[in-house]
Structure 1
Amino acid sequence: MSMLELVESDKEISILGEYQAAELMMLEANLSKCLNSLDTAKDLNLTSLKGSDSGLIALLLFYQRFANKKHWQVNLINASAGVKGLIELSQLNDFFTLVDDK
């Protein structure tokens, strides 16, 4: 089992590894720390994220709400079919900007 990791670059934050619900609180704390240090908008790259559940969608909502408060336009890059399905099931399609193959 690999731990989830946040990696920040100039234009994006990537979530890497296999999602495990037990790691959600740690991931949220790390993301919160990362977001609080940002001066500009960064997309969230999900290319290397494996797995999802409603807890992950809640984390993505946390990220999007943070961006909205700053009036930032951010994208979710390369969300998996599972993440896209959960977003659709939750009727949050209009809340997120999904981008593939960026």
Structure 2
Amino acid sequence: MAGLIGLRFAGFVIAGGAILGLIMAGATIGSLAGGLSGMSTGNSKLKQFEMAIEQGQFLILVDVPKTRIESIKQSITKHHPEAEFDGIEPILPTSFV
């Protein structure tokens, strides 16, 4: 009787390993597919700059603390007076604010 219980338990462990393997494989494939589909979708906020980038202009996005915005703006303007500033975005997208 003890041997029969051991075989049943071993079968459960083997089956559980297979199920866990399938779950892990599905999660891996799902995350890869999601990442690849996200890469193919463009950023809607960058659409307005596409033409300028195609013409050889640069787009520089800078993530700085609010307290340093003005000093960094002045530093960039000092060295590159032709630079244009297009605004400041909130930390969270507007859909979350």
Do Structure 1 and Structure 2 share a fold, with TM-score over 0.5?
Answer: no
Q: If each structure's helix is expressed as a fraction of its own residues, which one has the higher value?
A: 2
Please tell me whether Structure 1 or Structure 2 has the larger radius of gyration of its CA atoms.
Answer: 2
Considering fraction of residues, name the structure with more strand: 1
TM-score (norm 1): 0.24
TM-score of the two chains, using structure 2 as the length reference: 0.25
Higher RCO (C-alpha 8 Å, min separation 6): 1
